[in-house]
Amino acid sequence: MSVTMSNSRFRASSQPRGELPGLTQRIARHLEQYGKGHSVQGRQPEPGCVVLSSNDYLSLAADPRIVAAQVASLISKSTEVLMSAVFLGEASSQRRFERELAQFLGADDAVLTQSGYAANDGLLQVLADAITPIYVDIFAHASIWQGAQSAGVKARPFRHNEVDHLAGLIAQHGPGIVAVDAVYSTSGDIAPLAELASLCEATGCILLVDESHSIGVFGAHGEGLVAALGLTDKVAYRTFSLSKAFVGRAGAILGSARVLDFLRYQSRPAIFSSAVLEHDIARFQATLDVIRGADDRRFLLQANARRLREGLAELGYDVSVSETQIVPLVAGPEPRTVALRQALEQRGVIGAVFCTPATPKNKSLVRLSVTSGTTDEELDRVLAVCAEIRDQVRPEEWPTARRAARRAASATPQHSPALA
């Protein structure tokens, strides 16, 4: 039924159902750019492909010890309620796991959240009020920016890994919260955590480190970079997603028990979204046990990552930004990145495209991430494919190659922390 009103504001139009005009325009712009397929959507992995797009860094997804623990919990007669975590008691499996996680990571206490996104969002919402300066590395994860927004704060960005720039901002705007990723999820480089911790200590700032890509991966038992670098006492809060090395759906916040007790009843995701499921906690518990003893896997992971980085560098791909298992091929403008992705996929190598809003415009990339289970044959194949497509994809013209040339000209030493 069409409605006719004299006021043209209310005239029924050919507006698509469920859309106001602003949304229609935004969808039109999206379709103009991605109508033929979004850049991130490529070939789905099939048997025989080399899949370098997984965050299952220690190859634990199908580990029989972990799967068995989850199944046993699923078929057991649970007495735990399915509700928001505010209703959980101290004896709940979530609280037990949180205490064990805190102990493992050398933290005062821990809170399990529904995702890594909810961890950063909920934590910053509680830590800050509208006048708290929040300083965020420009490449920090979107959930950190969201957390500042949830606190009603416009985050103050500082240049990527540039501690001097951050120091200048703190001198200007006063002490507040400094938020960084330990390992950056698109570039695979590492935050200068020791320098950041010293600066925060000297200026009265609170340091928050997102360890999503370093928990399980670094440290003698997989405790992450903060612990591996001996900074546990200097980093007030750590967060991480359990969707990487823990291969599940949850997040965690580590920090002061006093603040976290407050957070359990104040953070909006903690109050208004249901708690992590019991069988997932059983899975995480078993995964934690495996991660603690997974030195062999950590060793393989580091060796695989090194081999990929060095092999690519020998072929003329500048991946020197990466210090970890995340190795980006930064082709730059999206059409170039899509062409690169297709060239790799046609030869059975599956990476993941990251483009705006996950990267700056014209710095889009194909992210290759190795796991401990990536085999030598697979790495040989990836490197052979990269050799084969080199003349087609022209890595010497990518932004990373230009940056490397500038760096070589100014001969600035690269940050390179001691890793366990």
State how far the Cα of 31 lies from the Cα of 23, in Å rounded to an integer: 12
Nearer Cβ to ligand PLP, position 355 or 389? 355
Measured CA to CA in angstroms, residue 338 lies from 34, 68, 145, 198, 344 at distances of: 12, 40, 27, 41, 10
Nearer Cβ to ligand PLP, position 117 or 135? 117
**Least distance from C-beta 276 to ligand PLP, angstroms?**
11
Nearer Cβ to ligand PLP, position 200 or 215? 215
Q: Residue 420 carries which side chain, given as an amino acid letter?
A: A
State how far the Cα of 258 lies from the Cα of 218, in Å rounded to an integer: 28
Cβ-based burial of 191 (10 A; exposed 0-12, middle 13-18, buried ≥19): buried
**Least distance from C-beta 118 to ligand PLP, angstroms?**
7
Residue nearest to ligand PLP (CB): 116
Which own/partner contact pairs does 91-96 have at CB distance under 8 Å and 24+ positions apart? 93/278, 93/281, 93/282, 93/285, 94/275, 94/276, 94/278, 94/281
**Least distance from C-beta 225 to ligand PLP, angstroms?**
12
217 contacts 70 by C-beta, under 8 angstroms: no
For 173, residues 6+ apart whose C-beta sits below 8 A from its C-beta are 133, 156
Nearer Cβ to ligand PLP, position 205 or 247? 247
Q: Look up residue 120 and give its two tokens.
A: 């950063």
Nearer Cβ to ligand PLP, position 275 or 383? 275
**Least distance from C-beta 181 to ligand PLP, angstroms?**
5
State how far the Cα of 181 lies from the Cα of 396, in Å rounded to an integer: 29
**Least distance from C-beta 85 to ligand PLP, angstroms?**
16
State how far the Cα of 10 lies from the Cα of 267, in Å rounded to an integer: 40
State how far the Cα of 333 lies from the Cα of 335, in Å rounded to an integer: 6
Q: What are phi and psi of 109, to 5 degrees?
A: -155, 175
Task: Give me the sheet containing 326-332, strands edge to edge.
Answer: 326-332, 364-369, 352-354
Nearer Cβ to ligand PLP, position 286 or 326? 326
**Least distance from C-beta 241 to ligand PLP, angstroms?**
3
Q: Look up residue 69 and give its two tokens.
A: 């623990």
Nearer Cβ to ligand PLP, position 55 or 400? 55
Nearer Cβ to ligand PLP, position 94 or 386? 94
**Least distance from C-beta 192 to ligand PLP, angstroms?**
17
Nearer Cβ to ligand PLP, position 216 or 395? 216
Nearer Cβ to ligand PLP, position 229 or 379? 229
| Angle formed by the axes of helices 295-314 and 376-393, nearest 10° | 30
**Least distance from C-beta 10 to ligand PLP, angstroms?**
41
**Least distance from C-beta 144 to ligand PLP, angstroms?**
7
Of the candidates 264, 241, 236, the one whose C-alpha atom is nearest the C-alpha of residue 252 is: 241
Chain contacts with ligand PLP (rule: CB under 6 A): 115-117, 141, 143, 181, 185, 210, 212-213, 241, 243, 251
**Least distance from C-beta 208 to ligand PLP, angstroms?**
11
State how far the Cα of 226 lies from the Cα of 205, in Å rounded to an integer: 17
348 contacts 50 by C-beta, under 8 angstroms: yes
